[in-house]
Amino acid sequence: MTMIEINLQTVRDRIVAACKAAGRNPAEVTLLAVSKTFGAEAVQAAYAAGQTAFGENYIQEAVDKITALRDLPLVWHCIGPIQSNKTRLVAEHFDWVHSIDRLKIAQRLSEQRPEHLPPLQVCIQVNVDGGETKSGVSPTDLSDLAQAVAALPRLQLRGLMTIPEPAETDAQMRAVHRQAKNLFEQLRAQGLPLDTLSMGMSADMAAAIAEGSTMVRVGTAIFGKR
Ligand SMILES: *Cc1c(COP(=O)(O)O)cnc(C)c1O
């Protein structure tokens, strides 16, 4: 077994254990392997161990990998900040974007999504715990942005993404995740058919799953230190 294969199995076991503890079905939680800074061969090793969903932060680096591995049936998620001048690359190469936090970026992605590809699957990044310097829309502006994004023709709004500040205790982590879950349910109650809550990383995976995460994003625990 390769180290990546062993690590993947450990992470999968942790997801199953967290689901069991929360009384949830492990099939409800997708593992996104965050491969940023690692090369195509690392992605290939994870694919050989059964992993198909990958998360990337840096657009040009990701496009190189996506192009090199285009013969594999992989699903690519953009989870990093997107500048206006990078939207075309994202629209042409990714399957998902988790980091929508401005309407302008969403509009450009919709306009630039090629006709021969299915709609770009997107989540809105929400700044739940109010970190001043962080990206993500504020909870007060979320509903308007979500309604506007949902109306764009070449995007399909799937849910929310959060990157909370590191917290000391399990209770603190769970409180932030619970706020995200509440915002998610409020949007659903407004009629948006959302099914994806992208929250939880290596350190807070169990807390996120306990509060309703449907997608956890894990890098270091699979690929090693960056
Ligand atoms: C890097 C990154 C991750 C993965 O973090 P690890 O600590 O390596 O598991 C998850 N989400 C986002 C948005 C990231 O940028």
Q: What is the pLDDT of residues 113-171, one digit of tens each?
A: 999 999 999 999 999 988 766 789 999 999 999 999 999 999 999 999 999 988 889 99
Position in ligand 1 atom list of the atom nearest CA 223: 8
CA distance 119 to 96: 9
Contact 174, 211 (CB under 8 A): yes
Contact 32, 215 (CB under 8 A): yes
- pLDDT tens digits, 61-73: 999 999 999 999 9
Position in ligand 1 atom list of the atom nearest CA 57: 15
Atom 11 of ligand 1 has which residue's CA nearest to it? 217
> Considering only CA atoms, which of 207, 212, 189 is closest in space to residue 14?
207
201 lines ligand 1 (CB under 6 A): yes
219 lines ligand 1 (CB under 6 A): yes
The position carrying tokens 């309703």 is: 212
For the whole model, what pTM was predicted? 0.97
Q: At residue 217, does pLDDT exceed 80? A: yes
37 lines ligand 1 (CB under 6 A): no
